[in-house]
C-alpha cells in the first residue's frame, strides 16, 4: 500500500491533524498503546492534546505510551532528557497514569538490558497501535541514523555530527559539547511493527529529507524511506516541508 501523504498549510494545521488522529485512536480504543517522539515537531500536537484533555474531550486514563529514544547518560530529571521533555510537554498535563508512560532510562545500570526490557514490554502490552514520529534533516527516525538496518531493534546508538549539531542549535542544548554522543533508540524494526505510523515534518529544513523519504528508493541512506511499504503510514507535512515533493 502506498503512503498516505497529507500536505497542510502550516505547522499549526499539522499539529491539529496529528492530534485529531491520536484522539480518534484513543476514542476507538481507550486502552491504546501509543508511541511518541520528542523534538520540536510534535510540540504543537502535544499542546493540542493537553488542551483537549483539559477540556474533557479525550481521556488518556487507559492509555500506555512508549517513547522512541533517550540520551545515554541523562537521567529523567535532566532538563534535556526526553523523559523530562515528555513530562513537561504532555504527561504532566493529561490524565495518563504516570506508570503507564515508558521512556528508556538513560542511566540504567545495564543499558543493553534496558533496551531488551523495553522491547519485551511493548510485546507484553500487545504492540504499539499508533507511533507518532518526526524526521531528522538527514532522514533519521528516532536515533536511527543513515546506515541503520531495516530490522534493527532497540539498542545503543551513536549520534551523527549532523544530529548533534541540529540538537544544539539553541532549541535544546546550547552547545554541541553538551550533547551526549550516544543514545538508546527504538530500532527501525521496532517502529515498523506499529500498527499505524504517523510521521510529521514541518519547515523548509526538512524538504530534502521528505523528498528522500517519499520519492527516493527505500535505502539505508534515508532511514525514513524504509517505512514506505508500511501498510498504514500517514506522512503529514506543512507546505514548506513538502516543497520538493509536489
Least distance to ligand F6R from the beta carbon of 214, Å? 16
Q: Is 69 one of the binding residues for ligand F6R (CB under 6 A)?
A: yes
Could you write out the DSSP letters of every residue in 6-61?
Answer: EEESSHHHHHHHHHHHHHHHHHH-TT-EEEE--SSTTHHHHHHHHHHHHTTS---T
Angle, in degrees to the nearest 10, between helices 11-28 and 43-54: 50
CB atoms within 10 A of CB 109: 7
Catalytic residue check, 238: no
Catalytic residue check, 140: yes
Catalytic residue check, 145: yes
> Applying CB under 6 A, which part among 22-30, 34-42, 47-55, 119-127 lies near ligand F6R?
34-42
Are residues 127 and 121 in contact, defined by beta-carbon separation less than 8 angstroms? no
Catalytic residue among 69, 70, 114, 129: 69
Least distance to ligand F6R from the beta carbon of 41, Å? 3
Q: Return the residue of 25, 38, 225, 228 that touches ligand F6R, per CB under 6 A.
A: 38
Least distance to ligand F6R from the beta carbon of 184, Å? 11
Residues 119-148 that bind ligand F6R (CB under 6 A): 134-136, 140-142
CA–CA separation, 41 and 198 (whole Å): 12
Q: Is 40 one of the binding residues for ligand F6R (CB under 6 A)?
A: yes
Catalytic residue among 114, 119, 145, 196: 145
Are residues 53 and 91 in contact, defined by beta-carbon separation less than 8 angstroms? no
Whose Cβ is closer to ligand F6R: residue 18's or residue 37's?
37
CB atoms within 10 A of CB 244: 15
Residues 6+ apart with CB under 8 A from 119: 153, 154, 190
Least distance to ligand F6R from the beta carbon of 196, Å? 17
DSSP 151: T
**Hey, which residues are catalytic here?**
69, 138, 140, 145
Where does this chain bind ligand F6R (CB under 6 A)? 37-41, 68-69, 134-136, 140-142
Amino acid at each position: 500500500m502506498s503512503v498516505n501523504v497529507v500536505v497542510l498549510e502550516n505547522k499549526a494545521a499539522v499539529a491539529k491533524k496529528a492530534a485529531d488522529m491520536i484522539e480518534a485512536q484513543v476514542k476507538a480504543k481507550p486502552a491504546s498503546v501509543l508511541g511518541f517522539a520528542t523534538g520540536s515537531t510534535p510540540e504543537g500536537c502535544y499542546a493540542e492534546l493537553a488542551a483537549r484533555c483539559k477540556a474533557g474531550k479525550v481521556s488518556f486514563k487507559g492509555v500506555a505510551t512508549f517513547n522512541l529514544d533517550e540520551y545515554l547518560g541523562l537521567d529523567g530529571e535532566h532538563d534535556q532528557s526526553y523523559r523530562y521533555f515528555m513530562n513537561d510537554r504532555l504527561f504532566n498535563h493529561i490524565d495518563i497514569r504516570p506508570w503507564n508512560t515508558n521512556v528508556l532510562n538513560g542511566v540504567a545500570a545495564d543499558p543493553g538490558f534496558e533496551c531488551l526490557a523495553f522491547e519485551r514490554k511493548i510485546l507484553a502490552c500487545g504492540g504499539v497501535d499508533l507511533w507518532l514520529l518526526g524526521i531528522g534533516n538527514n532522514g533519521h527516525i528516532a536515533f536511527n541514523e543513515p546506515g541503520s538496518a531495516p530490522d534493527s531493534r532497540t539498542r545503543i546508538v551513536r549520534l551523527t555530527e549532523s544530529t548533534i549539531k541540529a540538537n544544539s542549535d539553541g532549541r535544546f542544548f546550547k552547545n554541541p559539547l553538551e550533547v551526549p554522543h550516544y543514545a538508546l533508540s527504538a530500532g527501525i524494526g521496532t517502529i515498523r511493527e506499529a500498527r499505524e505510523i504517523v510521521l510529521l515534518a514541518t519547515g523548509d529544513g526538512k524538504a530534502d529529507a521528505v523528498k528522500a523519504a517519499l520519492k527516493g528508493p527505500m535505502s539505508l541512506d534515508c532511514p525514513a524511506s524504509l517505512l514506505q511499504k508500511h501498510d498504514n503510514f500517514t506522512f503529514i507535512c506543512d507546505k514548506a516541508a513538502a516543497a520538493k515533493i509536489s
